[in-house]
Chains A and B, each alone.
Chain A
Amino acid sequence: MIFAIIGLAMGVLLGLTLSFSYSATFTIYVTLIILILLQSLLRIIKNESMEFNIYKEAILITSEILFACLLAFIGEKLGISLYLAIVLSFGLKIFNDFNLIVKKLIKYDKIS
């Protein structure tokens, strides 16, 4: 948890200081990548007691990102907002994971 917060702060500082700009067309893809990474982060925080394999995690996240970008690209070519499907599914997962983390933190299941 603490590492996540420190990392986020560092990343935001880095992103704000680097004046690297890209075409407005890629905004949607960057948003999708942020969403997928956030979901992975929450998933790992949720199962912190488990031992994760870094390579397997990297492959999983990369494949997710590639597939999401592919879907968004096809949707844009066809004129359908397919990226909304990805936003919906990952948004739901993020909310579930967040809910579980908060429940774990406040020991929701224990009767006090």
Chain B
Amino acid sequence: MTKNRILITTLAVIIGFLAGLQIMNDSKSYAFINVNSVAVFSNELNAINNEIEGLRSIIILTSRDLNRYQLSEFNSDYIAGYLEEEIDRVKAIAGYTNVRGEGVLIKLSDNESITQGNINYDLVHDVDIAMIINDLINSGAEAISINGKRILAKTEVVCVGPLIKINGEGVGAPFIIKAIGNKDLLSAAINAPNTYAYNLKNAYGLEIETMKSDFILIPKYND
């Protein structure tokens, strides 16, 4: 009987001791994890670190701008130069400068072969032009013109009977769209399967020709 008591007491003391240690040990935030969750957490850590790097570079850029403004406070020549630079940049964005570079030329003309269907299906409409312009802008076009009319932020593309009104002037078929940007991307926006222009060409039979070019000049907007 005493042997049993000794056994029981020692076991109980050891259990209590270990339990007390476990309680005292600061391991409440510890979780038993396996290899997969380690990988998941390290990926998360990498993503957050990358984000921090991006934010740091933004801070550097912004403080550089701030420095330029602060410098120009002391030097009136400098501020004039800086403002002129800014005017040029804004003009280029707004479409008041000539732009040249690589790009694509697109020729859109009505379906001239004899069809049995509705005549409306054989014509190029204002909606078609607007959709194609949106596709081009979406694939990174920096400047676009239609038959020499520069496309600005305020440009309208409206149907006026047999013509299409662009920048307040009527334009007739065939339409020649010039776009400056990455020529492969722009050409893909027109020719890739299931784009709007691809459907126009293959389902409605409109004539759409694309030509990639290394040198395209788009004139500035003139009112």
Residue among B8, B20, B25, B30 making CB contact with A3, cutoff 8 Å: B8
**B211 → A minimal CB distance (Å):** 58
Stretch at the interface among B10-18, B122-130, B143-151, B201-209: B10-18
Beta-carbon contact of A40 and B11 below 8 Å: yes
Residues of B within 8 A of A24 (CB): 25, 27, 30
Given A7-B8, A44-B7, A54-B3, do A16 and B15 touch, yes or no (CB 8 Å)? no
**B interface, size bucket:** 20 to 34
Q: How far apart are the CA atoms of A38 and B15 in the complex, in Å?
A: 7
Given A22-B25, A27-B25, do A11 and B15 touch, yes or no (CB 8 Å)? yes
Q: How far apart are the CA atoms of A44 and B10 in the complex, in Å?
A: 12
- Per the 8 Å Cβ criterion, residues 1-36 of A in contact with B are 3-16, 18-22, 24, 27-28, 30-31, 33-34
A45 contacts chain B at the CB level, 8 A cutoff: yes
Beta-carbon contact of B35 and A11 below 8 Å: no
**B42 → A minimal CB distance (Å):** 15
Residues of A within 8 A of B11 (CB): 4, 7, 37, 40-41, 44, 61
Residues of B within 8 A of A80 (CB): 34
Q: How far apart are the CA atoms of A44 and B8 in the complex, in Å?
A: 7
Q: How far apart are the CA atoms of A31 and B23 in the complex, in Å?
A: 11
Beta-carbon contact of A18 and B21 below 8 Å: yes
Q: How far apart are the CA atoms of A27 and B15 in the complex, in Å?
A: 14
Beta-carbon contact of A16 and B23 below 8 Å: yes
B1-44 near A? 1/0 per residue, CB < 8 Å? 10111111111111111111111111100101011100000000
